[in-house]
Amino acid sequence: MGRVFVSKPVGDRDEQQSGVVKRAGRSYSAAYKQRILEELDAATEPGMTGMILRREGLYSSNVGRWRRQRDEAIRSGLGERKRGPKVDSVARQLRVLRERNEVLEERLRTAEELVEAQGKAFALLHSLSRKSADPK
């Protein structure tokens, strides 16, 4: 693997005027990382690790980060997961809103029945008060 350099200066004006060229960040595939980690883990002789790192143009910090990523992936893969189908947040929100709507419609029906009963009670009391007010 060769080194990759940016073709034109990157950074602020001082860096551009001084002609400093920054190295472009490198990215590695998961398969490459896994292959290198397996090779490093299999290296038992003294100096083999350094030889592999030099050959690949890697730093030990890369390998340390990759090992942490691998260990984290293993831990997350072994973690507890919720069983059952995954619930879509939109579907869940729709279900909650429909349930709330049913509760509110029931409360509305009750309120309308109360208003109707109050109207009938008022009419009855009004008619009774007229009868009692009328002289016989």
The Cα–Cα gap between 109 and 64 comes to 66
Q: In the Cβ-directed half-sphere of 32, how many Cα atoms lie within 13 Å? A: 9
| DSSP bridge pairs for 23 | 5
Residue 76 pLDDT exceeds 60: yes
Look at the block and give the residue holding tokens 């009938």.
120
The answer to whether 75 touches 68, Cβ cutoff 8 Å, is no
Q: How do the domains of the chain map onto residue ranges? A: 28-77, 95-136
Instruction: Write down the pTM of the prediction.
Output: 0.44
Give residue-wise pLDDT tens across range 98-125. 999 999 999 999 999 999 999 999 999 9
